[in-house]
């Protein structure tokens, strides 16, 4: 009974683990573009493919690896396993890629699309179809962001605006965040391909049919190097990703430059307002300074001056004239201290010596050119 319990316990545990094993919704496409759909547990799937359980974990967000003559690819949410005979798309129901999966992928693998690797083995077509979809997705994201960012920047970078529209800044902030995410995705895509291009053995391992199909192996030994074709395929999409990265970088630089222009415009308007405030303050100071005369005459003190009707106009004129003179002096003082400094004075001796030095340099250049021409003439002769 003890032995029976010992054997029954592991069997029960294995049955329990098998029952909780995740189930993949699999889409299978063969060389002719025929498509089948089925569900299979992870344990059964990796056993049929001759893989290990860790090979189907898809730990990295983007990776291309080979295991037991199988290519395991992941492009974020897209998980695929490529063999020399078929392509498996895992969890295809959760990808929101119905148009590409059901309308384009099968025809591309069957040779009806625009893949340049149709004459090569099946794994070339599968890899190119996935890379083409992903690079087109990145291009679509960039071409969607670019007009939005340019339109927002054009609305913000306007010297006539005295203030900045906060809604436009909010839109620019969101677009900048989306652009940063796109730059990160493009960078990860480039690094994934570059890791393979740097290792010749990895490129050889991607050529699955070279080691399973005798005809392909004979072609590779007779002059058609499939490893070189794989390297050219990966380099093509690496170059496209590099172009996307350059366009995104230029857009980022444009955003940074536009932000600097916005800050300069705001600083310019702020300086104008500060200068106007300073001028009004100086005018108020000068007016209040000579207003003391009117305050003195407005006191309840009697003198012989208030009896003369011309004193009022005389005192008023002196107040306004003195205030105007003081205000003008303050403005001239402000202008002298705010205008840019003059360039340093260049002595006349240096001014006269500069053309001479220029003539000496031109003569030396002409001598060098003449010497070079004479040497070339002697050489020709």
**Of 92-96, 111-115, 198-202, which one has max mean pLDDT?**
198-202
d(CA 256, CA 252): 6
- Once rounded to an integer, what is the mean pLDDT over residues 121-128? 89
pLDDT of amino acid 212: 73
The 3-state DSSP class for residue 373 equals helix
Distances (CA, A) of 197 to 25, 216, 235: 32, 22, 8
Q: Give the pLDDT confidence of 241-268 residue by residue, as tens digits.
A: 999 999 999 999 888 887 777 777 777 7
Q: Number of helices (H) and strands (E) in the chain: give both, helices first.
A: 12, 6
Query: How would residue 107 be classed by pLDDT, with cut points 50, 70 and 90?
Result: confident
pLDDT of amino acid 311: 73
Q: Residue 55 in contact with residue 46, Cβ under 8 Å?
A: yes
- Once rounded to an integer, what is the mean pLDDT over residues 366-372? 43
The distance of Cα 31 from the centroid of its chain, to the nearest Å, equals 38
Query: How would residue 224 be classed by pLDDT, with cut points 50, 70 and 90?
Result: low
pLDDT of amino acid 362: 40
Q: Give the pLDDT confidence of 33-51 residue by residue, as tens digits.
A: 888 988 888 888 888 888 8
**Of 19-23, 194-198, 359-363, which one has max mean pLDDT?**
194-198
Q: 286-300 b/e with 16+ CB inside 10 Å = b?
A: bbeebbeeeeeeeee
- Once rounded to an integer, what is the mean pLDDT over residues 2-26? 57
- Decide if pLDDT at 368 tops 60: no
More confident residue, 242 or 306: 242
Average pLDDT, the chain: 76
Q: What is the DSSP letter of 32?
A: T
- Once rounded to an integer, what is the mean pLDDT over residues 100-126? 82
pLDDT of amino acid 301: 61
- Decide if pLDDT at 132 tops 50: yes
- Decide if pLDDT at 181 tops 90: yes
DSSP-assigned beta bridge partners for residue 62: 75
- Decide if pLDDT at 359 tops 60: no
- Decide if pLDDT at 202 tops 80: yes
Q: Per mean pLDDT, which range of 39-43, 138-142, 232-236, 254-258 is the poorest?
A: 254-258
d(CA 376, CA 218): 54
Q: 63-92 b/e with 16+ CB inside 10 Å = b?
A: ebbbbeebbbbbbeebbbbbbbebbbbbbb
d(CA 371, CA 26): 77
- Decide if pLDDT at 303 tops 70: no
- Decide if pLDDT at 375 tops 50: no
What is the value of pTM for the model shown?
0.66
d(CA 314, CA 317): 5
129 CB neighbour count, 10 Å cutoff: 23
pLDDT of amino acid 221: 60
- Decide if pLDDT at 186 tops 90: yes
- Once rounded to an integer, what is the mean pLDDT over residues 160-180? 79
Is CATH 2.60.40.10 correct for 20-114? no
Q: Give the pLDDT confidence of 144-155 residue by residue, as tens digits.
A: 999 998 888 887
pLDDT of amino acid 267: 75
Q: Give the pLDDT confidence of 322-343 residue by residue, as tens digits.
A: 777 877 777 777 666 555 555 5
Distances (CA, A) of 339 to 276, 333, 334, 335: 16, 10, 9, 6
More confident residue, 230 or 311: 230
């Amino acid at each position: 009974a003890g032995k029976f319990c010992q054997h029954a316990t592991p069997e029960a545990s294995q049955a329990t683990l098998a029952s909780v094993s995740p189930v993949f919704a699999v889409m299978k496409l063969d060389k002719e573009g025929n498509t089948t759909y089925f569900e299979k547990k992870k344990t059964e799937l990796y056993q049929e493919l001759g893989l290990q359980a860790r090979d189907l974990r898809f730990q990295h967000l983007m990776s291309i690896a080979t295991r037991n003559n199988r290519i395991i690819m992941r492009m974020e949410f897209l998980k695929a396993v490529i063999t020399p005979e078929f392509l498996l798309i895992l969890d295809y129901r959760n990808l929101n890629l119905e148009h590409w999966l059901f309308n384009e992928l099968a025809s591309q693998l069957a040779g009806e699309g625009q893949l340049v690797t149709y004459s090569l083995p099946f794994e070339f077509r599968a890899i190119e179809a996935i890379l083409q979809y992903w690079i087109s997705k990145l291009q679509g994201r960039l071409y969607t962001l670019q007009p939005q960012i340019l339109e927002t920047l054009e609305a913000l970078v306007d010297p006539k605006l005295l203030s900045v529209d906060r809604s436009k800044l909010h839109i620019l902030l969101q677009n900048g965040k989306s652009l940063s995410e796109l730059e990160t995705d493009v960078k990860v895509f480039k690094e994934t391909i570059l890791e393979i291009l740097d290792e010749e053995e990895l490129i050889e391992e991607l050529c699955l049919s070279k080691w399973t199909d005798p005809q392909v192996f004979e072609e590779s030994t007779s002059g058609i190097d499939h490893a070189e074709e794989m390297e050219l395929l990966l380099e093509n999409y690496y170059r496209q990703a590099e172009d996307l990265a350059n366009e995104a970088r230029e857009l980022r630089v444009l955003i940074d430059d536009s932000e600097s222009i916005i800050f300069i415009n705001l600083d310019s308007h702020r300086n104008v307002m500060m200068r106007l405030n300073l001028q009004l303050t100086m005018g108020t100071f000068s007016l209040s300074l000579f207003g003391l005369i009117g305050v003195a005459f407005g006191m309840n003190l009697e003198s012989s001056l208030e009896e003369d009707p011309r004193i009022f106009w005389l005192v008023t004129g002196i107040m306004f004239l003195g205030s105007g003179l003081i205000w003008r002096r303050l403005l001239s003082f402000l202008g002298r201290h705010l205008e840019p400094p003059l360039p340093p004075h260049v002595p006349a001796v240096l001014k006269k010596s500069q053309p001479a030095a220029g003539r000496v340099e031109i003569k030396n250049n002409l001598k060098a050119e003449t010497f070079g021409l004479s040497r070339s003439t002697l050489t020709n002769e």
